[in-house]
Structure 1
Amino acid sequence: MSTAVDISSGRGTNPWDGDRIEVDERDLKAVSHHVVALGKIKSRLDEWATALTYGR
């Protein structure tokens, strides 16, 4: 992801330029670890609550 300084100084490209937003997959994965972790925690809590509720 480019910063405003990179774009204004001529270095880098604007990911929002054009018809669609393009962000490098590596950059996207680098900032999404917390989303994955929270998703796993939510799934485990859901499983626990279901087992508690229905006795499974």
Structure 2
Amino acid sequence: MAPKETETCGRCAMSSVVDTTESDDGDRDPYGDARIEVPEDEMRRVAVPQILLGRVKGKLDEVATRLTYGR
């Protein structure tokens, strides 16, 4: 049995499921040779709203804590 290469894109869990359900002839490959990759600049651009919302949530938590506990 040849060692498998580790996938670097986060599909490991899905690959495990496919490996256990793969037919005996081994011809089932839902991924092919394609990899799912997102350019870093695009990932940073779409993450901006989540970062801002996280900061707002932190400030709201601070205000709620001060109001609740008088700190």
Q: TM-score, structure 2 length as denominator?
A: 0.48
Where do 5+ consecutive residues of structure 2 fail to align? Answer: 1-33
Q: Percent identity?
A: 47
Structure 2 counterpart SS, 1:23: coil
Does residue 53 (structure 1) correspond to residue 68 (structure 2)? The answer is yes
The counterpart of 1:43, out of the listed 58, 62, 66, is 58
Indicate the residue corresponding to 2:47 in structure 1: 32
After superposition, what is the alpha-carbon deviation per residue over 1:1-56, rounded to whole angstroms, capped at 9, x for unaligned?
Answer: xxxxxxxxxxxxxxxx34xx321111100111111110000000000000110000
Question: Quick check: which has more Rg, 1 or 2?
Answer: 2
| Displacement over 2 Å in runs of 4+ | none
TM-score of the aligned structures, taking structure 1 as reference length:
0.60
Higher RCO structure (Cα 8 Å, ≥6 apart): 2
Task: Give the aligned length.
Answer: 38
- Which structure is higher in helix share? 1
